[in-house]
Structure 1
Amino acid sequence: MFNSLPKQLTSALLLAGVLSGCSMAPTYVRPAAPVAGSYPAAADGQAQLEASARGWRQFFPDQRLQTLIAAALENNRDLRTAALNIEQARAQYDITAADALPHLEGDFSRSRGRTPAVQSPTGQSFVGTSYAVGLNMTAFELDFFGRVRSLKDAALASYLATEEARQSAQISLIAQVAQAYLAEQSFAEQEALAQQTLDSRLEEYKLGKMRFDVGASSALDLRVSDTLVQSARVSLSTLARQRGQASNALTLLVGKPLTDLPASTPLLDQQIVTDIPAGVPSDLLNRRPDIRAAEQQLRAANADIGAARAAFFPRISLTAGIGNASTSLGNLFSAGSRTWSFVPQLALPIFEGGRNRANLTLSEVRKNLAVASYEKTIQTAFREVADALVARGTLDEQLAAQDAFLNAQQERVKLTGLRYKNGIANSTEMLDAQRDLFSAQQALIQTRQLRLNNAIDLYRSLGGGLNETTQAAKS
Structure 2
Amino acid sequence: MDTTINHSRPGPRMSAWAASIASAVATIGLAGCVNYAGIHSDAHIDPPTQFETKQSLPAEGGQWPAMDWAKQFGDAQLPALIDEALKGNPSIEQARSRIEKATSYVGTSKSALYPNVTGSYSWTRQRYSENGIVPPPYAGTWQSENTVLASASWDLDLWGKNRERLRQAISQEIVADAEGEQVRISLAASVASTYNRLAQLYALRDIQAREVKNREDISHITDGRVGAGLDTNVERQTAYGDTATSRASVRDLDGQITIVRYQLGALLGAGPDRGLAIAKPSLGEGANVALPDNLPADLLSRRPDIVAAYWQVDAATHDVKEAKAEFFPDVNLSAAAGLDAFGWGRFLTAGSRQMQLAPAIHLPIFDAGALRAQLKGRYADFDYDVATYNQTLINALSDVATQVSQVRSADLQLVDARQALDAQTKAYQLALVRYKSGLAQQLTVLNADDNRLAAETAVLNLEMDRRGTQIALIKALGGGFDASHEGLAATAQTPIPASRTE
- The reply to whether TM is greater than 0.5 is yes
* SS of match in other structure, 2:364: coil
Q: How far 1:64 moved relative to its partner?
A: 0.8
Segment of structure 1 superposing worse, 71-80 or 318-327: 318-327
The 1:234–1:421 alpha-carbon spacing in structure 2 relative to 1, beyond 3 Å, is: same
Partner residue in 2 for 1:238: 252
Query: In structure 2, the residue corresponding to 1:248 is in which secondary structure?
Result: helix
> 1:21-40 maps to which residues of 2 (within 5 A)?
30-33=45-48, 36-40=51-55
**1:190 corresponds to which letter in structure 2?**
L
Say if 1:28 and 1:299 are closer, same or farther in 2 by CA, change over 3 A: farther
Q: Which stretch shows the higher mean deviation, 244-253 or 419-428?
A: 419-428
1:52-67 matched pairs, under 5 angstroms: 53-56=66-69, 58-67=71-80
1:137–1:266 distance in 2 versus 1, CA, 3 Å: same
Residues 100-140 of structure 1: CA distance to partner in whole angstroms, max 9, x if unpaired? Answer: 222211111122323333434447533332222221125x4
In terms of mean alpha carbon deviation, does 89-98 or 405-414 score higher?
A: 89-98
Letter of the 1:457 partner, please give it: A
Contact 1:104 1:137 survives alignment (8 Å): yes
Q: Give CA deviations for 1:161-193 in whole Å, capped at 9, x if unaligned.
A: 011001011111111111110100110111122
Match of 1:97 in 2: 110
Aligned counterpart, 1:266: 282
User: 1:432 and 1:325, CA in 2 relative to 1: closer, same or farther beyond 3 A?
Assistant: same
**SS where residue 117 of structure 1 aligns?**
coil
TM-superposed deviation, 1:219: 3.2
Match of 1:113 among 97, 108, 126: 126
Distance 1:286 1:184 in 2: 33
Cα distance in 2 for residues equivalent to 1:384 and 1:42 = 11
- Length-normalised TM-score, structure 1: 0.86
Deviation track 1:295-327 (CA, whole Å, cap 9, x = no partner) reads 111111111111222222333323321222233
Compute the displacement of 1:293 (Å).
0.3
Aligned to 2:33: none
Partners of 1:144 and 1:457 in 2: CA distance = 50
Match of 2:90 in 1: 77
Partner of 2:433: 418
Distance change (3 Å), C-alpha of 1:7 and 1:50: farther
Structure 2: distance between partners of 1:430 and 1:8: 106
- TM score, norm. by length of structure 2: 0.81
Q: Is the 8 A contact 1:286 1:292 kept in 2?
A: yes
Separation (CA, whole Å) in 1 of partners of 2:211 and 2:233:
22
1:228-247 CA deviation, whole Å, 9 max, x = no partner? 21331342233222222222
Partner secondary structure for residue 464 of structure 1: coil
Q: Counterpart of 1:293?
A: 308
1:247 matched residue in structure 2: 261
Mark the runs of 5 or more structure 2 residues left unpaired by the alignment. 1-9, 22-35, 487-491, 493-502
Q: CA deviation at 1:29?
A: 6.7
Shift in Å at residue 442 of structure 1?
1.6
Quickly say closer, same or farther: Cα 1:44–1:443, change in 2 above 3 A: farther
Structure 2 residue 429 is matched with structure 1 residue 409: no
Q: How does 1:161-310 map to 2 (within 5 A)?
A: 161-213=175-227, 215-256=229-270, 257-258=273-274, 264-267=280-283, 270-279=284-293, 280-310=295-325
Name the aligned partner's letter for residue 429 of structure 1: T
Distance 1:394 1:217, change over 3 A: same
Is 2:347 aligned against 1:332?
A: yes
Task: Tell me, in whole angstroms, the C-alpha distance in 1 between the residues paired with 2:50 and 2:266.
Answer: 36
Describe the shift of the 1:340–1:7 C-alpha distance in structure 2 as closer, same or farther (beyond 3 A): farther
Deviation at 1:2, TM superposition (A): 4.4
Q: What residue identity is the alignment partner of 1:397?
A: L
2-structure distance, mates of 1:194, 1:35: 51
SS in 2 for 1:110: strand
Distance apart, 1:276 and its partner CA? 4.2
Shift of 1:27: 12
- Which secondary structure does the structure 2 equivalent of 1:87 belong to? helix
Give the % identical residues: 25
Preserved CA contact (<8 Å) 2:53 2:296 = yes
Q: Which amino acid aligns with 2:456?
A: Q
Contact 2:198 2:281 in 1 (8 A): no
State whether residues 70 and 78 of structure 2, in contact with CA within 8 Å, keep that contact through their aligned partners in structure 1: no
CA-CA distance at 1:212 after TM superposition: 2.2
Mapped to 2, the partners of 1:458 and 1:293 lie a distance apart of 20
Report deviation, 1:31.
3.9
- Opposite residue 195 of structure 1, the aligned amino acid is A
- Structure-1 residue corresponding to 2:446: 431
Distance across 2 between alignment mates of 1:156 and 1:362: 21
- Cα distance change of structure 1 residues 61 and 40 upon mapping to structure 2, 3 Å threshold: same
Q: Distance in 2 between matches of 1:73 and 1:419?
A: 57
| Structure 1, unaligned runs of 5 or more | 13-23
